[in-house]
Amino acid sequence: MKRIFITGGGRGIGAATSATLGAAGWHVIIGYAKGLAEAEATASTIIAAGGSAETVQCDVTDIDSFAALAEALGPLDAVVHNAGVLIGGPIAATTAAQFDTLYEVTLKGPYFLTQALMSKIVDGGRLLFVSSSTAERASAMFPAYAAMKAAQIHLVKSLASALGGRGITVNAIGPGLTATEMTGELGRNPEIVARVASNTALGRMGTTQDIADAAALLLSDQAGWITGQYIGTHGGVAL
């Protein structure tokens, strides 16, 4: 049975990805920072459906904990860097603390977590980053967030080059606005949802299942020749 570790795997896109991979026969290790109840609920759902899952505490900003975490996790066939934080506002209103939080969660944490887990990922394994469609274009209201996500995509390319010799693929997916706990009111506001739908080629806002299905595709055996890529999983937003 293949083993996958998903950071932030207990809610939103992470929960949908956990459930989808669990249904596909993976053993899913659901990482959580503070949302233990959500992580356990997601694991219970997977197990009730006949799958295999467990939870593990993982704060992606706690770099000092990564070595012990790696030993506890054991061998892995795939890792999904899904944990995230959404901080918006124009550049004039961004604080240094907000910028640092985005950096630690989006870039620094995944960088050093990957470093800690490299020896645990089997040859031919998969690394997947959940990025954002904001990385593709200018974002006056999310400048720091967009910049971190764009940097994350370059990290994906560098990691793909570094790990390719072991047959490990490294890719990123880029959801558009999706209704989750992280996006909050943005993903529930009818006016914003309608605006997103009108600006999307497929005519609607994406769901967490849409993103989970794309993740499952890139984690599959059939995606072994795809690496170093960012794939916009947003239904054709702002084409």
What is the chain's pLDDT, residue by residue, as a tens digit (239 residues)?
999 999 999 999 999 999 999 999 999 999 999 999 999 999 999 999 999 999 999 999 999 999 999 999 999 999 999 999 999 889 999 999 999 999 999 999 999 999 999 999 999 999 999 999 999 988 888 999 999 999 999 999 999 999 999 999 999 999 988 866 655 566 567 877 788 888 899 998 899 999 999 999 999 999 999 999 999 999 998 77
Calpha distance 23→20 (Å, rounded): 5
Q: Which residue, chain included where needed, has tokens 């900003």?
A: 61
CATH placement of domain 3-233: 3.40.50.720
Query: Facing residues of 53 across strands?
Result: 28
Which region holds residue 43: left if phi is over 0, alpha if psi is between -120 and 50, else beta?
alpha
CB 122 within 8 Å of CB 77? yes
pTM here?
0.94
CB 44 within 8 Å of CB 57? no
What angle do the packed helices 12-23 and 36-48 form, to 10 degrees? 20
Task: Give the domain ranges of the chain.
Answer: 3-233
Which strand (E) or helix (H) includes residue 153? helix 143-163
